[in-house]
């Protein structure tokens, strides 16, 4: 959530910043009005509570002095004041709940450095590596779902039989390649990131901490019987690893990574980029995440970006880095760069990683703080994360890019240690 104090001290700035994300200024004004109303009700409630306490003392003093009539009159006055206090408390609680519900859906303010734009058309390509559209042969212009079927490494038909549409199944060296990609991403980041294997079913509080709830409930899989949610990304459990904890500044930044399966309902995605591996309900991914101080945020963001593109680069894939404009930023995002790979068989640029800086937006929800080295009160950490490698689209781009004229797939050398001796997927 954004800091409610900003609605009191910099309302115009917050309103203008959120307008860049398409937020109606009336919603920001409503939040500010609710905050003002809550503070007024809280003050009046506390005044009534103090009056009740004072009257209670006067009642006791009157009875001890033998002035029963005054004591009874003061008791009636105290009961009336108590009723007013209770009414004010109920109203304050209702306004507080309404304000919290609104703050949970108001997005984070975008960075001033994020490009202006209302949607994806405003995103800016800032870097492209390894792309020459004329360099791809006809053998590389075959979509991965056809290649996968020809080589027996992708079985979409049986995946649908088992689980329904938008589920996929890898077989043989296709499954080995899936696993190898994850292990490569873990090993490339093991120098600085602690590996975690978190639970993949989490509570509503955990999903709320990262901003998925309440706004994106329709996109998540909910196990209603146990009130648990299947994670859409390891960002969710990793962010809550330090929930309600106080870290030492000397320990920051904290860097974490996790391999997990990820689950997304992809509501409304039917018929849109759903062929093959382009969009699926379940997939494997390695996530990298950091907690840091506000001062460290920009440098840590840059580090996560370079780690994400570095792994794509060693796989011999063409890639580009996209600066996401304010109007296309997600709810929790302050600044975001997407890594896209080119898939010659699909003839598309595919987003494979979003590397994002959330400032203190998630940490405020999760109550993750740090104790400054110089003393003073605790402060909220900043959170950042990105996909070190999300398998499906990287797998797709890899088999299309590295397909040979005879139909085989030459597997990139960095993957060889994880392929049990294989260096290629042979043609049938």
Average pLDDT over residues 72-83: 94
Pairwise CA distance, residues 73 & 295, whole Å: 61
- What is the pLDDT at residue 215? 84
Can you give the residue range of the structural domain that contains 14? 6-105
Same domain? For 304 and 401 the reply is: yes
Please give the radius of gyration of the chain, using alpha carbons only, rounded to the nearest integer: 28
- What is the pLDDT at residue 269? 58
Task: Kindly state whether residue 17 falls inside one of the protein's structural domains.
Answer: yes
Q: Is the peptide bond before 214 cis (omega within 30 degrees of 0)?
A: yes
Average pLDDT over residues 284-292: 98
Are 323 and 115 a contacting pair, CB within 8 Å?
Answer: yes
Q: Which of 43, 70, 105 is the last residue of a domain?
A: 105
CB atoms within 10 A of CB 272: 9
Residue 266 has pLDDT above 90, yes or no: no
Average pLDDT over residues 161-186: 97
Same domain? For 84 and 171 the reply is: no
Are 361 and 330 a contacting pair, CB within 8 Å?
Answer: no
Residue 271 has pLDDT above 70, yes or no: no
What is the overall mean pLDDT for the chain?
Answer: 96
Which residues are 341's β-sheet partners? 319, 350
Q: How far apart, in Å, are the Cα atoms of 96 and each of 34, 106, 357?
A: 8, 15, 28
Same domain? For 213 and 248 the reply is: yes
Task: Kindly state whether residue 110 falls inside one of the protein's structural domains.
Answer: no
Same domain? For 88 and 166 the reply is: no
Which tens digit of pLDDT belongs to each residue from 30-66? 999 999 999 999 999 999 999 999 999 999 999 999 9
- Quote the number of domains for the chain: 2
Same domain? For 83 and 126 the reply is: no
Which tens digit of pLDDT belongs to each residue from 296-323? 999 999 999 999 999 999 999 999 999 9
0.85 exceeded by pTM: yes
Lowest-confidence range among 192-201, 260-269, 320-329? 260-269
Residue 274 has pLDDT above 80, yes or no: no
Average pLDDT over residues 328-340: 97
Is residue 277 classed as helix, strand or coil in its secondary structure?
A: coil
Task: Kindly state whether residue 83 falls inside one of the protein's structural domains.
Answer: yes
Average pLDDT over residues 6-20: 98
Q: Is the peptide bond before 253 cis (omega within 30 degrees of 0)?
A: yes
CB atoms within 10 A of CB 244: 11
35 secondary structure, DSSP code: H
Task: Kindly state whether residue 113 falls inside one of the protein's structural domains.
Answer: no
Task: Kindly state whether residue 140 falls inside one of the protein's structural domains.
Answer: yes
Q: Kindly state the tokens that stand for 416.
A: 């060889």
Same domain? For 159 and 84 the reply is: no
Pairwise CA distance, residues 290 & 323, whole Å: 20
Q: In the structure, what pLDDT confidence band is assigned to residue 343 with cuts at 50, 70 and 90? A: very high
Average pLDDT over residues 360-372: 97
Q: Which of 61, 76, 105 is the last residue of a domain?
A: 105
Q: Which of 105, 138, 169 is the last residue of a domain?
A: 105
Same domain? For 28 and 131 the reply is: no
Average pLDDT over residues 235-261: 98
Average pLDDT over residues 156-165: 96
Same domain? For 142 and 94 the reply is: no
Which tens digit of pLDDT belongs to each residue from 184-237? 999 999 999 999 999 999 999 999 999 888 888 999 999 999 999 999 999 999
Task: Kindly state whether residue 369 falls inside one of the protein's structural domains.
Answer: yes
Same domain? For 307 and 417 the reply is: yes
Angle between helices 144-151 and 391-401 (to 10 degrees): 80
Task: Kindly state whether residue 114 falls inside one of the protein's structural domains.
Answer: no
Same domain? For 17 and 158 the reply is: no
CATH number of the domain that 378 lies in? 3.30.930.10
Laid out side by side, the sheet with 379-380 consists of: 246-248, 369-371, 379-380
Average pLDDT over residues 246-272: 89
Pairwise CA distance, residues 402 & 235, whole Å: 31
Task: Kindly state whether residue 162 falls inside one of the protein's structural domains.
Answer: yes
Same domain? For 37 and 127 the reply is: no
Residue 270 has pLDDT above 60, yes or no: no
Same domain? For 91 and 135 the reply is: no
Pairwise CA distance, residues 171 & 117, whole Å: 42
CATH number of the domain that 50 lies in? 1.10.287.40
């Amino acid at each position: 959530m954004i800091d409610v104090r900003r609605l009191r001290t910099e309302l115009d700035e917050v309103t203008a910043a959120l307008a860049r994300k398409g937020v109606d200024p009336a919603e920001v004004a409503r939040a500010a009005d609710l905050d003002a109303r809550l503070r007024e009700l809280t003050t009046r409630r506390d005044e009534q509570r103090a009056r009740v306490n004072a009257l209670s003392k006067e009642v006791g003093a009157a009875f001890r002095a033998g002035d029963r009539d005054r004591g009874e009159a003061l008791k009636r006055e105290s009961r009336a004041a108590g009723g007013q206090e209770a009414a004010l408390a109920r109203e304050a609680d209702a306004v507080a709940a309404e304000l919290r519900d609104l703050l949970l859906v108001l997005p984070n303010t975008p960075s001033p450095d994020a490009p202006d734009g209302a949607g994806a058309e405003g995103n800016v390509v800032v870097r492209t590596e390894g792309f020459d559209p004329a360099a791809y042969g006809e053998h590389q212009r075959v979509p991965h779902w056809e290649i996968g079927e020809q080589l027996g490494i992708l079985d979409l038909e049986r995946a649908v039989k088992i689980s329904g549409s938008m589920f996929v199944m890898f077989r043989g060296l296709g499954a080995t390649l899936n696993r190898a990609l994850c292990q490569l991403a873990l090993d490339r980041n093991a120098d600085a990131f602690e590996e975690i294997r978190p639970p993949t079913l989490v509570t509503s509080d955990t999903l709320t901490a990262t901003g998925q709830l309440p706004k994106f409930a329709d996109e998540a899989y909910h196990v209603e019987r146990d009130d648990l949610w299947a994670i859409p990304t390891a960002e969710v459990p990793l962010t809550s690893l330090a929930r309600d904890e106080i870290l030492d500044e000397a320990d920051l930044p904290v860097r974490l990574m996790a391999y997990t399966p990820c689950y997304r309902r992809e509501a409304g995605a039917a018929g849109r980029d759903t062929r093959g591996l382009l969009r699926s309900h379940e997939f494997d991914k390695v996530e990298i995440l950091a907690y840091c101080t506000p001062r460290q945020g920009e440098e840590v963001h840059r580090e996560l970006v370079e780690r994400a593109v570095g792994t794509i680069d060693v796989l011999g894939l063409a890639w580009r880095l996209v600066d996401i404009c304010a109007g296309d930023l997600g709810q929790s995002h302050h600044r975001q760069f997407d890594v896209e790979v080119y898939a010659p068989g699909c003839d598309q640029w595919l987003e494979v990683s979003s590397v994002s800086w959330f400032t203190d937006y998630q940490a405020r929800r999760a109550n993750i703080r740090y104790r400054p080295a110089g003393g003073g009160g605790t402060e909220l950490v900043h959170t950042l994360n990105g996909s070190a490698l999300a398998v499906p689209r990287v797998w797709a781009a890899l088999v299309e890019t590295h397909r040979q004229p005879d139909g085989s797939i030459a597997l990139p050398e960095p993957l060889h240690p994880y392929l049990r001796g294989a260096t290629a997927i042979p043609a049938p």
